[in-house]
C-alpha cells in the first residue's frame, strides 16, 4: 500500500465524518512521523506492514468517533503544540480568545510582573500560552484532576516555561493565599442533560470537564462569587461560556461586584466569553 492508496482507503472509511481528508492526512503523518508536504511529494512511497497496521487501527478508531487529538496525543493551541490525553478537554480555537483578550487588557495597563491564575487548566493550554507571551508574569494553573495536573506540568516542562506553577485544587480550595491581576478560566458550562453530549468528538471527552448542573452555570456561579476576593484592585476575570449564557453571566458579574462587564463573540460570531474588572469602592 502506498501513501496515496492509504489516504484514498482512509477517506473512504471516514466519508461520513466532517473532515475525512484532513483526518486521514493527520493520522498518516502521525504514523510516518512526517509533514503533510511529504505526503504530497512522495505519494507512491510504500508503507511497511507495521505502518499499515498502525494506520488501519487509528482509522477504525476515528471511524467510531474518537477524536484525532486523542489518537495522536497532540493538539496545537495558540503558538504551542501540547500533549493531550483522555483525562482532559481538547483545547479548541475559540479558547484562544481568552489568551488574546488577556494580553490586550495587559497592554492597556502593563504590569511589571502580572500574577495570573488559570482555573481548570486541563492540558495547561491557557496558562502556558500566557506564560509564553508574558515571560515576566507568574502564572498559577490549577485543576482538581490529578492526571490533568501531571499533564499540564509535563507540557510546561516540554515547552521549557519556568514561570508556570501547576497544582491540584478544586477551583480556589487549595490555592495559597495570594491575589491575582488576571483570573482566566474555561470551566465546564454544558447543561447536564444536553443532547450535544452524545454527539461527535465530545462523546469521548470527560464529563467533568464539560457539564455543570442543569443550566450549565454551577461552576461559573462559584467562580464569579469567589474570584472577586482573589483579585487585586482593578483585576480582571475572564470566562469562556456557552453561546446562550452571556446574559445570565453578565447579571452574575454585576451582582457580585464587577465593573466593565463585557461580552465578546468567537470567530463564528457567537457570544462565547465574558470579562469584567473588580469593582473598587
Q: CATH number, domain at 48?
A: 1.10.8.10
Question: What band does 127 get if pLDDT is binned at 50, 70 and 90?
Answer: very high
Residue at a domain's end among 64, 92, 117: 64
The predicted structure's pLDDT at residue 207: 73
Note whether 23 and 72 are within 8 A (CB).
no
State whether 124 and 146 are in the same domain: yes
Same domain, 90 and 181: yes
139 & 260 share domain:
yes
Going by pLDDT thresholds of 50, 70 and 90, the confidence category of residue 196 is: low
Q: Band of the pLDDT at 197, cuts 50, 70, 90?
A: low
Are 224 and 263 part of one and the same domain?
Answer: yes
Give 26-50 pLDDT, tens digit per residue.
999 999 999 999 999 999 999 999 9
Residue 118 lies in a domain: yes
Say if residue 12 is in the same domain as residue 102.
no
**pLDDT for 215 beyond 90:** no
Q: Is residue 268 part of a domain?
A: yes
Q: Are residues 125 and 12 in the same domain?
A: no
Residues 240-259: pLDDT tens digits? 999 899 999 999 999 998 99
Q: Is 144 within 8 Å of 168 (Cβ atoms)?
A: yes
Based on the domain organization, do 88 and 165 belong to the same domain?
A: yes
Instruction: For residue 205, give its domain range.
Output: 75-278
Q: Could you tell me if 100 and 188 lie in one domain? A: yes
- 8 within a domain of the structure (yes/no): yes
Do 83 and 60 belong to one domain? no
Structural domain ending residue among the three candidates 45, 64, 83? 64
Tell whether 12 and 109 lie within a shared domain. no
The CA distance from 63 to 65, in Å, is 5
**pLDDT value of residue 146:** 96
Number of domains in the chain: 2
Residue 69 lies in a domain: no
Task: Please say if the pLDDT value at position 202 is more than 90.
Answer: no
**pLDDT beyond 90 at 222:** yes
pLDDT, mean of residues 200-211: 72
Residue 95 has pLDDT above 80, yes or no: yes
Same domain, 159 and 42: no
The predicted structure's pLDDT at residue 198: 66
pLDDT in tens, 7-27: 999 999 999 888 999 999 999
Q: What contacts 14, CB < 8 A, 6 or more positions away?
A: 20, 23, 24, 59, 62, 63
Is 235 within the bounds of a domain? yes
Q: At 48, phi and psi to the nearest 5?
A: -75, 165
Do 152 and 176 contact (CB within 8 A), yes or no?
A: no
User: At 260, which CATH number?
Assistant: 3.40.50.150
Q: What's the CA gap between 228 and 117, in Å, rounded?
A: 13
pTM score: 0.91
DSSP symbol at 216? S
Q: Are 130 and 159 contained in the same domain?
A: yes
When pLDDT is averaged across residues 250-272 and rounded to a whole number, the result is 94
Does pLDDT of 166 surpass 90? Answer: yes
Q: Is the pLDDT score of 208 beyond 80?
A: no
Amino acid at each position: 500500500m502506498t501513501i496515496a492508496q492509504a489516504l484514498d482507503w482512509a477517506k473512504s472509511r471516514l466519508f461520513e465524518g466532517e473532515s475525512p481528508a484532513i483526518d486521514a492526512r493527520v493520522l498518516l503523518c502521525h504514523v510516518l512521523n512526517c509533514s503533510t508536504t511529504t505526503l504530497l511529494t512522495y505519494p507512491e512511497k510504500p508503507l511497511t506492514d507495521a505502518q499499515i497496521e498502525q494506520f488501519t487501527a487509528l482509522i477504525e478508531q476515528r471511524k467510531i468517533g474518537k477524536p484525532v487529538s486523542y489518537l495522536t496525543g497532540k493538539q496545537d493551541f495558540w503558538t504551542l503544540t501540547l500533549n493531550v490525553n483522555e483525562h482532559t478537554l481538547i483545547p479548541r480555537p475559540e479558547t484562544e480568545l481568552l489568551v488574546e483578550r488577556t494580553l490586550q487588557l495587559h497592554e492597556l495597563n502593563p504590569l511589571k510582573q502580572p500574577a495570573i491564575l488559570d482555573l481548570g487548566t486541563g492540558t495547561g493550554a491557557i496558562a502556558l500560552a500566557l506564560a509564553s507571551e508574558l515571560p515576566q508574569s507568574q502564572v498559577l494553573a490549577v485543576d482538581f484532576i490529578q492526571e490533568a495536573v501531571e499533564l499540564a506540568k509535563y507540557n510546561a516542562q516540554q515547552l521549557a516555561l519556568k514561570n508556570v506553577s501547576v497544582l491540584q485544587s478544586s477551583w480556589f480550595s487549595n490555592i495559597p493565599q495570594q491575589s491575582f491581576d488576571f483570573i482566566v478560566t474555561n470551566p465546564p458550562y454544558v447543561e447536564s442533560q444536553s443532547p450535544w453530549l452524545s454527539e461527535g468528538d465530545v462523546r469521548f471527552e470527560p464529563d467533568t470537564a464539560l457539564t455543570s448542573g442543569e443550566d450549565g452555570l454551577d461552576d461559573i456561579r462559584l467562580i464569579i462569587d469567589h474570584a472577586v476576593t482573589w483579585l487585586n484592585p482593578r483585576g480582571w476575570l475572564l470566562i469562556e461560556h456557552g453561546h446562550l449564557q452571556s446574559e445570565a453571566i453578565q447579571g452574575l458579574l454585576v451582582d457580585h461586584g464587577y465593573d466593565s462587564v463585557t461580552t465578546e463573540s468567537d470567530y463564528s460570531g457567537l457570544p462565547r466569553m465574558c470579562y469584567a474588572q473588580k469593582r473598587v469602592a
